[in-house]
Amino acid sequence: MLNPFSKADISFDDFQQSAKRRLPKLLFEYIDGAASDGSGEVDNREIIRKVRLKTKALINVEQRSLYHKVFRIPSKLPVGIAPMGMVQMAGVGADEALASFAAKHEIPVGVSTAASMSLEKYAEHSQGYAWFQLYYMADKVELEKLLSRVITAGYKTLIFTVDVPEVGFRPNEIQNGLTMPFKLGPKQIVDFAMHPNWSLKTLIHGAPKFGNFTDTNSFNRNASRAGADWEFLRYLRDRWPNKLVIKGVLNVDDAINMKGMGIDGIYVSSHGGRQLASAPHPIEMLPKIREALGKNVQIFYDSGLRTGEDLVKAYALGADFVFMGRPWSLAYAADNRHGIDNYIGYLCKEASVAMAMIGRTKIAQICFDDIFWNSKT
């Protein structure tokens, strides 16, 4: 089981504040940032917070389990690691730590096209629990090369992200002068100098870089991906031989069309509020998409989940499996592997308590009936 609780047990907010102290400002605000004025991420969090769970009394819940399944594969925890680009910004060794955690607890770990460790190393460290995340690529030759690497490395699930036709407008990144690869001006040098622990480790081990591309200029995180369309999705469905998941879906009609194309999983997500502040709130779209699709397609969810109760709410609202993104990075930034272990320990204990309160002993039992519906919900 995960690390037992100790006097160091802390909440997401504490991890967030610790990470803020440890990381250079431009890196913390990249990890924790959101699009435009940040209201999309904040509002979605507030809606999640206001969702009420229906308590039930006098039900024997002594034997509770957080074990679950994703694509019928057993998972020891009810939460996966969402794909995140440049995780090494959180600290040296972050990629290896997340992949190893996934292997230990048999949970999926998303490997971003923009990951700071190669997809081959992720496959090795995760012992087969890695899912590769793909962005649209107009160059079919380069796309085929990448897909061939993914297949050769043994990946069984491909996540295609569709909510980045253009990179979201993130004022903090512009103000802080964040570029990849790093370009250091006076402002950045002062920022790094004020955070010597992160800076010295990075100086020794090397600055974060795109692990899937040997040429630093061969991948541009800010490039337009506006050419992605339904024809490309049909091509990808025909080309990819295994499970195909579409990430960034917030439209019921889109989800229905994707299901009709034989997509294996619909991933409801707002990119953590990093793309469009005015997008529909993903936690509100989750039950609508579940109702429209029925039970014949897997539905995954991330965006705004911070606590164990949040996980239970997402399952109750229709998710088959849930993921988190920035909490993993902030936990690592706060205290490396210990941070991850402690944060997930906190998360899972709270989820187990919430399950007891609503009379559930297994994740698979959680359903719509566990939501306390009222006129304000």
Residue spans of the domains in the chain: they are 12-370
pLDDT of residue 1: 47
pLDDT of residue 8: 60
Mean pLDDT, consecutive 10-residue segments, the chain of 377 residues? 51 93 93 94 96 97 97 96 95 96 98 96 98 96 96 98 93 81 79 88 85 75 90 97 98 98 98 95 98 96 97 98 97 95 95 98 98 69
- Is the pTM value of this prediction over 0.85? yes
271 is catalytic: yes
Q: Active-site residue among 105, 125, 271, 281? A: 271
pLDDT of residue 216: 56
Give me the amino acid identity at 219. Answer: F
pLDDT of residue 174: 83
Which CATH fold topology does 12-370 show?
A: TIM Barrel (3.20.20)
pLDDT of residue 4: 47
